[in-house]
């Protein structure tokens, strides 16, 4: 009896340790910048990679947990959506002698399945969402400090190659905040994912525009301070989506609070007119208007012709598909830099994730990653139609906003945030991802383990 009690005691301790490590893993995934970790020649151990190793060790050292983890992957239909892209990554690695072409995406997918496992088996949805929202509160307050400081507080964590940090970004005389990302545009992607999450009432299973008004407002301010017009425009798409997917009672409340907020916001803009902050807000608002309607109002608030020419540059990116030296079946991988001249314009920065995927992995890679995104988006839409679940509404808005943003910018190391949303959706609607095959671990696999 004493041995049994002792076994239960140690199992309980082990579960608590695994739960604590799982929370640290989620925090590291969201918060830790890619330039923080332990330098190792050829393959730096970033914070997220360290946590992956720790989690995998804890899973592999307990046989029952390893069986469970392997079963979860084997009987999850999401693995079928991953395999075509992984196959493309593998042969690109071989043909281009570029291990990063396979390793980087593989680590991101491993992060996806580890997140599904720790959320479904240890943390649960509510605890995970509390941790995620806590991280976004950290971002929100840090971003305000960063704007006035002129430097991200996360840069003090820099322990790896300084080239991973893109440095300070200035547009039209204004500093652009970057948070834990390596680029202001990447930080805009991260913030956009947080907007629908800030509106989720996970206790009452409702979506309300002003569920967390302080966080919502701070995220808006942070998005403006990134100086990213695409992120600002996507924010308004999210705003409309959140309102439309809210219940009737929440819509009425949102209209009342929203009208009041617009009046207050307009008053503040008038009061701040002539100041640096006021001009920055007007620059972003007019920049989006100019982008949509082809006007030039933003020039009155400090925009330059270079700023306006950035949209013309994105238009030129579509000519990449006609570059003759690019192999349409095998991309150049991740290590080799891309540069070409089209009609006298030098193209180096691929400010469109889908076009960048074509360059890295050619048509097979571009179509397979779109297929992967589409797999989850279709599942979310199906779940929304059938159940009208608040979680599904939120995760669909996060995913759609991110996928839309990638039309204007490369992923910049932020795909793990999208995969976090995919993982949360899988955990909230597991019935949409279970294979019909009988769930059991193969006796041959057990013997091998």
Buried b / exposed e across 313-340, counting CB within 10 Å, b at 16+? ebeebeebeeeeebeeebbbbbeeebee
Pick from 9, 111, 8, 51: nearest CA to 417 = 111
Cα(355)–Cα(375) distance, integer angstroms: 20
**Where are the domains positioned within the chain?**
1-75, 76-448
Judged against a pLDDT cut of 80, whether residue 324 lies above it is answered with yes
What are the distances in angstroms from CA 249 to CA 206, 381, 403?
11, 23, 29
Cα(5)–Cα(315) distance, integer angstroms: 68
Q: What is the pLDDT of residue 124?
A: 92
Judged against a pLDDT cut of 60, whether residue 46 lies above it is answered with yes
Maximum Cα interatomic distance, the chain, rounded to a whole number of Å: 81
Residues 6 or more apart in contact with residue 404 via CB below 8 angstroms: 234, 237
Query: Under a CB-based contact definition with an 8 Å cutoff, are residues 179 and 218 in contact?
Result: no
Q: Is 244 exposed, middle or buried (0-12, 13-18, 19+ CB in 10 A)?
A: exposed
User: Is 417 or 287 the better-scoring residue by pLDDT?
Assistant: 417
Where are the alpha helices (H) located in 165-211, listed in sequence order?
184-198
Q: What is the pLDDT of residue 166?
A: 58
pLDDT above 90: percentage of residues in the chain: 56
Average pLDDT over residues 398-425: 96
Q: What is the pLDDT of residue 406?
A: 96
Taken in order 207, 209, 215, 219, is the CA torsion positive or negative? positive
Average pLDDT over residues 308-314: 66
Q: How confident is the prediction for the chain on average, in pLDDT?
A: 86
Judged against a pLDDT cut of 60, whether residue 194 lies above it is answered with yes
Report the range out of 171-180, 273-282, 322-331 with the highest average pLDDT.
322-331
Residue 234 has which token pair? 């996507």
Name the pLDDT band for 212 (thresholds 50, 70, 90).
very high
Name the pLDDT band for 102 (thresholds 50, 70, 90).
very high
Instruction: Tell me the pLDDT tens digit for each residue of 183-193.
Output: 999 999 999 99
pTM, entire model: 0.90
Judged against a pLDDT cut of 60, whether residue 223 lies above it is answered with yes
Cα(231)–Cα(288) distance, integer angstroms: 10
Cα(59)–Cα(67) distance, integer angstroms: 9
Q: What is the pLDDT of residue 314?
A: 77
pLDDT above 70: percentage of residues in the chain: 86
Q: What is the pLDDT of residue 381?
A: 95
Cα(207)–Cα(18) distance, integer angstroms: 31
Q: Which of 15-29, 229-243, 260-274, 344-358 is predicted with the least confidence, judged by mean pLDDT?
A: 260-274
Q: Whose structure tokens read 């193969």?
A: 442
Query: Under a CB-based contact definition with an 8 Å cutoff, are residues 176 and 405 in contact?
Result: no
Judged against a pLDDT cut of 90, whether residue 44 lies above it is answered with no
DSSP letter for 336, please.
S
Average pLDDT over residues 5-20: 77
Locate the DSSP E strands across 21-145.
37-38, 45-46
Judged against a pLDDT cut of 70, whether residue 311 lies above it is answered with no
Judged against a pLDDT cut of 80, whether residue 391 lies above it is answered with yes
């Amino acid at each position: 009896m004493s041995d049994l009690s002792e076994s239960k005691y140690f199992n309980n301790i082990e579960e608590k340790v695994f739960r604590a490590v799982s929370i640290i893993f989620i925090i590291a995934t969201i918060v830790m910048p890619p330039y923080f970790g332990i330098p190792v020649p050829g393959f730096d151990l970033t914070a997220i990679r360290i946590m992956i190793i720790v989690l995998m060790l804890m899973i592999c050292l307990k046989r029952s947990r390893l069986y469970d983890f392997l079963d979860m992957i084997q009987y999850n239909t999401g693995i079928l959506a991953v395999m075509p892209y992984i196959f493309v990554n593998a042969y690109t690695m071989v043909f281009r002698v570029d291990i990063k072409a396979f390793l980087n995406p593989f680590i991101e997918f491993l992060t996806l399945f580890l997140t599904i496992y720790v959320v479904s088996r240890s943390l649960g949805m509510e605890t995970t969402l509390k941790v995620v929202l806590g991280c976004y509160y950290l971002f929100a307050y840090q971003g305000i400090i960063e704007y006035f400081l002129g430097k991200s507080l996360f840069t003090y964590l820099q322990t790896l190659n300084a080239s991973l940090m893109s440095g300070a970004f200035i547009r039209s005389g204004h500093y652009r905040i970057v948070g834990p990302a390596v680029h202001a545009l990447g930080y805009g992607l991260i913030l956009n994912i947080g907007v629908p999450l800030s509106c989720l009432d996970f206790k009452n299973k409702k979506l309300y525009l002003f569920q967390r008004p302080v966080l919502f407002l701070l995220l808006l301010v942070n998005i403006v301070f990134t100086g990213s017009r695409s992120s600002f425009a996507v924010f308004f798409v999210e705003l409309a989506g959140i309102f439309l997917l809210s219940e009737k009672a929440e819509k009425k409340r949102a209209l009342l609070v929203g009208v009041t907020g617009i009046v207050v916001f307009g008053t503040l803009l008038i009061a701040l007119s002539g100041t640096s902050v006021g001009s920055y807000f007007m620059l972003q608002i007019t920049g989006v208007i100019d982008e949509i309607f082809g006007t030039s109002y933003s020039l009155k608030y400090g925009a330059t012709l270079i700023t306006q020419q950035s949209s013309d540059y994105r238009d030129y990116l579509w000519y990449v598909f006609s570059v003759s030296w690019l192999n349409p079946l095998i991309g150049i991988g991740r290590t080799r830099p891309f540069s070409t001249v089209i009609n006298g314009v030098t193209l180096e920065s691929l400010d469109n994730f889908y076009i960048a995927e074509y360059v890295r992995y050619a048509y097979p890679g571009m179509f397979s990653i779109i297929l992967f995104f589409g797999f989850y988006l279709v599942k979310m839409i199906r779940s929304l139609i059938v159940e009208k679940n608040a979680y599904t509404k939120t995760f669909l808005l996060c995913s759609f906003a991110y996928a839309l943003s990638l039309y204007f910018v490369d992923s910049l190391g932020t795909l793990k945030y999208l995969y976090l949303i995919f993982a949360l959706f899988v955990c909230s609607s597991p019935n949409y991802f279970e294979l019909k095959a009988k769930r059991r671990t193969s006796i041959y696999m057990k013997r091998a383990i």
